[in-house]
A = this chain, B = another copy of it.
């Protein structure tokens, strides 16, 4: 049992998947010779050879488009897009083909492709390197969307994603890349589509995912200490499928919910969770679902991102606001 960073855990998952299944191929920009700009794919080319792990020309649409061709011939591609913002040149291949091929072929053709994307902000990157892209994929029917929050979860969810016959957009929170956790090679955690309550509580349900799970847990600790609030923290883990049951169970208990995500607020995941909560739990809500999120502005320059990103304070302010709704 080893304490691995998320980078190492993802590397381990790729390596295990390639070992288990010869159809798994890993490729992208700078993934082979260099082992990835974050070293996530380090050593894979040496170990599995040029045909299983290779570099691609600087062309994102080509990375996804050729993966689709490989999948048609029975492979299980795991392409990497170097950064969140560079999924955009591949948007057409993802939305028009990756997401729709199974449907177009009336179920005959699977698209067992996992698109790995180092994602989200928090590490002071230049423009276009800190985008929250999940809304794009969640709204596009036909894609699964997985967002791990820790090393062990990343290991398990990535193996699940690669084995899954549906296309998965796998968003890796860069800011958690170097956080360590015990990872047991070969064991799995909850499958894709299951949210996990990371901390139980009774005051307010905090629904989050990815890099903000750790922030929410920290906020919950502080809230308990300073205010005596018992926050329940739910890690969604996958946004499609969405485990709304786990969210609902929590809300039924607390009556209150704050969604915590870092992308822009309008039509971020908070909107969908809020819509679902009031639709399905109208009589259970003691307060509206509130959103602690990024702003509806372009992602800011590195020096200012800490003020843009929702952190402990914005979350606790929002929790406080939720608590300001009195029972009638």
Say yes or no: A135-B267 contact (C-beta < 8 A), given A88-B91, A99-B298: yes
The answer to whether A20 has its CB under 8 Å from any CB of chain B is: no
The answer to whether A85 has its CB under 8 Å from any CB of chain B is: yes
1/0 per residue A247-276: CB within 8 Å of B?
A: 000000000000000011011111110110
> Is B298 in contact with A100, judged by CB distance below 8 angstroms?
yes
1/0 per residue A129-156: CB within 8 Å of B?
A: 0000001101101100000000000000
Q: Looking across the interface, which residue of chain B has its beta carbon closest to that of A300?
A: B103
Q: How far is the CB of A245 from chain B (nearest CB, A)?
A: 16
Say yes or no: A287-B282 contact (C-beta < 8 A), given A96-B85, A139-B266: yes
Q: How far is the CB of A39 from chain B (nearest CB, A)?
A: 26
The answer to whether A314 has its CB under 8 Å from any CB of chain B is: no
The answer to whether A303 has its CB under 8 Å from any CB of chain B is: no
Kindly state the separation between the CA atoms of A121 and B271 in the bound complex, as whole angstroms: 24
Q: How far is the CB of A319 from chain B (nearest CB, A)?
A: 14
> Is A100 in contact with B88, judged by CB distance below 8 angstroms?
no
> Is B266 in contact with A272, judged by CB distance below 8 angstroms?
yes
Identify A95's interface contact among B88, B103, B138, B325, CB under 8 A.
B88
Chain A stretch 279-325: residues in CB contact (< 8 A) with chain B: 279, 282, 285, 287-291, 295-298, 325
